[in-house]
A and B are shown apart, each in its own frame.
Chain A
Amino acid sequence: NAGVTQTPKFRVLKTGQSMTLLCAQDMNHEYMYWYRQDPGMGLRLIHYSVGEGTTAKGEVPDGYNVSRLKKQNFLLGLESAAPSQTSVYFCASSLQGNGYTFGSGTRLTVV
């Protein structure tokens, strides 16, 4: 079992470019989440999903979009990257909304 897999692991973007981060889980979990982690700020929720076809905003959703077309995948999109989006992004999943399993993260730098 791979658990939660995030791709890519590292990425450098220029300001204004777009990209999509992919999160895939093989545990048949209903709930999936995208967090960003910045020094001194902890983990902050960007968007989340409580099931296939559903999404909801978290604490810091501006500048990001998400889609959950398949139960096992949760995509995070940046339409026009900004330096403030430089961060480490973590995806997580859970079966019943607790006891999260995290991926290993995507380190994104926007220059």
Chain B
Amino acid sequence: EDQVTQSPEALRLQEGESSSLNCSYTVSGLRGLFWYRQDPGKGPEFLFTLYSAGEEKEKERLKATLTKKESFLHITAPKPEDSATYLCAVQAPSGNTPLVFGKGTRLSVIA
């Protein structure tokens, strides 16, 4: 069973067209939810960690939010350099439990 489901699989935006990516999860007692950015041919790069419902984190044009069942990555006025695959991952309550990743959303921002 999937613990982490990301949607959409791919998203194409015009430069300046704001949108949101979704990450829904089924882990009970979430310890943390993580967002990563991955550029082609590179390893994932850490963006945010969210720990509790209602929490928000921001970085430049990105804002991540968390509810009890899902997280959103909001992209405001995106630029072509925001094009990448965005990965969501969750960690179960046990401290040593490795992260479980979703399959990602591939974002393309067209100038």
Contact = CB atoms under 8 A, between A and B. Distances in A.
Nearest to A47: B98
A58 B97 CA distance: 10
Interface residues of B, number: 24
A90 B87 CA distance: 14
Interface residues of A, number: 25
B102 A48 contact: no
Most-contacted residue by chain B among A40, A58, A92, A100 (CB, 10 A): A100
B34 to A, nearest CB: 7
A20 B89 CA distance: 27
B53 interface: no
Interface string A28-61: 0001010100001111110010100000001000
A103 B43 contact: yes
Interface of A: 4, 31, 33, 35, 40-45, 48, 50, 58, 90, 92, 96-105
